[in-house]
Structure 1
Amino acid sequence: MDHYHFVGILGYGMKALASIYLEKGVTVTGTDASYDDKNQPFKQHTLIMKDASDSATHCDILIYSTAIKSDHPDIINAKKNNIQCIHRSELIQKLFDEHQYNIAVTGTHGKTTTSAIMAYIFKFAGLNPTFVIGGEPEEINQSEFGDSKYLIVESDESDGSCLNTFPSHILITNFESDHLEMHDNDFNVLKSTLLTFSQRAQVIFAHYDDIGVQTLLQNISGQIVTYGFDPKNDYQIVDIQSHHDSMSIYFKQKQHQIDYVIHTPLHGKHNALNLVGAFSVGAYFNIDINVMIESLSKFNGVKRRLQTLGDTQINHHLVTVIDDYAHHPTEIQATIDTMMSRDDDLIFICQPHRAARVQNYFDDYVRVLQSIPRLILLDTYEPGLHQDAINPSKKLFDSLVKKNNTIIYCSLNECIGVLESCIDKPLTAVFMGAGDITKIAHRMVK
C-alpha cells in the first residue's frame, strides 16, 4: 500500500487531497502546526503530528503546499532519505491522469463557490464526479473520489502552481490583479501564467463581462462558452430579483433562445454569476436542465461565504452574525452590496489580509470601506508572522476616518468589547476577512 505524507495537511487544499487519497486506500500521514489532537479531521484514522514527523523518512511521496518552506524539517528529512517531494498541484495532475474530463475552476474571485456548485450539480445528477474544493460546501464534502470520468478541481492561479496541471476544460470566473508578491510584483507575469494555463484547455467557460477575462482570452483560438449580463454572451443573465431569504435569476441561452429561471437561497450578483457559470458547464456536458435547476435550488453555499452563523443577544438586542471570507477590495465590495440590498441595519467588522495586499491596493481599500456607514477596522492579518510585525491598518484607518469619522479601529482581542459597545438596536454583524476573524465570529454565537 502506498504511503503519502502531507506537510501542512490541515490547509483547505491539502486536507481535500488527503481525503481523496484516503478514499483511494492510500496510507496518509501528515504534519500541521495548527493540529489539535482533540479533533480528528478525517473519517479514517490518520496519524497527524504538530511538528516534524518520522513518517517523512519512510513514506513513498511527500506532498507540500506553496505555504511550506523548503527548510521544513519533514522536507529536509525526506530528501535525505531520497523520498520524492512534490507540490500539491503535481498530485492533482495524478488525478487528472485518471479521468477523461478534467474541469478546472480558476479566477481571482469566486473559485470556491463556483467549483462547489459545479460539483453539487454533477453529484445531484448522479454522475459521481471526483472533486477537490478549497472550502467547505454546506451540502457535500470538500472532496470525494468518484468512479466516473469527471474531475472538478478548484485551481489556484495565485502562485503559478496551476501550470503543473493540464485540464481539458477551464472555467474562468474573473481576472484582476492580486497575489502579485508571488509573481515578481508584475501583473504581466500573473497574466502570462493564466494565459498559458488557459491555452491548455479544449473548452473555456468564461465570465466575459469581465474586462480582465476579455483581455486574457482575446488571442485564444479554442472554443469559448461565455456567460454574464451582456446580450453577446452565450448565457445572458437578464434579471435578478432579490427576496429576503432567496434570489431568482432569469437568464437565457442565446443559441437556442431558451429562457431559464433559477430560484436559489444564495444572494448577490456575484453568486448569480457563479451559478450561471456552473450551469453552463453542466449544460455543455448534457446534464438535464430540470435536474440542474432543481439542484441549484437546494445548494446553500460554502462556509465562510456570507455564512449565517446564528443569532445572539447583545445589550438586549438580537444580533445576527454572518461570517464572510471577503478580503480583496472587489470581494469586500460584493459583500457590502449584497448585504445592503438585504438589510438596512448592519455593522461590518473588517480584518484586512496581508500587508502586501493592503499596500498594493490601498486606494481601493479606502474607496470600498469608506462607503460603509458602520465599520470596525481590525489590525491586518499576516499569515505566518506575528501580528505586530507589519500592520498597515493604522494608515488605512487614518485615511478612512477623514472621510467617515464614525469608523472605529481596534485589535482583534478588543473586537468583541468594542462591538458590544456599538449595539443599540437589533442588527446584523458581518465579519469579513480570510484570517482569524472567523474565530471571533464563531465565539459570538457560542
Structure 2
Amino acid sequence: MEKSSPQSRSSTRRNFLHTAAASGALGVLPWSRAVHAAGSDMVKIALSGCGGRGTGALADALSNSVGGNVQLIALHDAFGDRIENCLRAISARFPDKVDVPPDRRFTDLDGYQHLTETGADIILDCSPPGFRPMHFEHYVQAGKHVFMEKPLAVDAPGFRRMLAANEQAKAKGLRVAVGHHLRHELKHKEMISRIWNGEIGRITHLRVYFNSSGVWVRPRKPDQTEMQYQVNNWYYFTWLSGDHIVEQHVHDLDVMNWMMGNRHPVTAQGLGGRQFRVGKDYGEIFDHHAVEFTYEDGTKGFSYCRHIPGCWDSFSEHAHGTKGFVSIEGHGHAIIQVEGRDPVRVERGPDGHGLEWDDFLKAHLNGEAYNEVDHTILGTMTAILGRMATYSGQIVTWDEAVASQLDLSPSGYTWDAEPQPKPGPDGIYPCAMPGQTKAY
C-alpha cells in the first residue's frame, strides 16, 4: 500500500526522519530480516505496568488470532497491589497461559530491570510514559523484542533517547511494536489509502479531537512520599504523562500526520489552560488544549482535546480536500464524501488493540523484521510540540522543539527522589502560565 503523499513535497526537505517515516507509512518498516526467527512454539512475555492498559494489552496478546502460543511469565509494577489485581484478572480469563510465581513479580521503580532476566521473549512496556525511554533502552540493551504503549516520550530529551535506542534495536534485529491501535484499524487503513490515492483531492485542512470527561483520580495517602504520590497519580504530572495532549490526543495527532503522508508539522501555536480540573488532586496539567499546526506546504491541522464533563465529546479525525472529505470515528465507523458521489461508509471491524498484536505476533512467529517506532514517534513529538505551544503561548517550530534541552525528569528514580513539580502552600500544584512559561 506504499504510495506517495497526496501533498506536493519539496525535494530539499530537511526532515531527518523523512525517509524512515515514509517507508513505514501504513504498517511494518522494511528493515532487513531479523537475525533470529521465533525459534520455538511458545512465546514468553513479561509486562511492566499492570494498570488497565497493561492488563488489556496482556489480554490482547494471550487471545491473539494468529495461533501464537503465548504465555505470561513475569510482571512488574511500581506498586504491588496492581500486580496482584492484574494477575487475578488475567489468571481468571487465561488460567492455562499464566505462570507468574512470586519470584517473578517485581515492584518498585527499578523492578522493570529484572524482567529481562526471566527468559521472556517479548517485554510489554505499559508503565507511565515518562519512564518509556529509560525502559526501552534497557530492554534493547538486553536484546529483547518490545511492545510499548504510546506515547513514546514526554519531552524532547526523551524523544532523542528513543530515536537512539531504536537505532540499536534495528541494528540488533529486534522487533518493536507501538500501541497505536488506530494504525491497525481496517477503516483507518482504508480511508488513509483513499486519501493517499487522491480521492478527496489536495488536502486543504485537517481536524482532530480527543474530548472526554477525563480519567481517574487517586488522592494522596498519608504515608506516601512526594515521588510515590506523583507516580501513583501519574496522569496529572507532565513528567509522567506529558499532559493529556500527549498521553491521549497523541492517537489523533498520529493519524493527522498519517493522513499527511507521515509528515510532521513545522510549527504550532495554540492556547490552553485548566478551568474545571483545579484542586489538590489534579496535579499540574491543563484540562483543555487547542492547537493550530502548520505543515511545510502550508496545510493547517486543527487539534482539540478537553477533559471536562458535561461537554461535547469526540474521539475523531477529519481530512478536508479540494474534492471532498473523510471523517473517521476513533472507535466507530468512517465516511468518505466525494463531490458528485454518494457517501461511502466503512464500519470499524475488529478492535485495533487486538489487530496490532496479531500483526506483531505474526511477524515474530515468522521471524520477520518489524519496527513501528520511526513513523509513530512523529506523533509523540507532534504532541510535545503542541504542548510547548499551549504552555508558552508562543509559536514554536519543530526544529526548536526537537532541539529543546528542557528535561522534565526528577532528581532520580527512587522513592525518596525529588520530582520537579511541587505543591504550593495550599496543596495545589502550579500549572504552566502562557506568556510566562518558557516554550523550550
Structure 1 length normalisation: TM-score?
A: 0.31
Greater share of strand: 1
| Bigger relative CO (Cα 8 Å, ≥ 6 apart) | 2
Structure 2 length normalisation: TM-score?
A: 0.31
Structure whose CA Rg is larger? 1
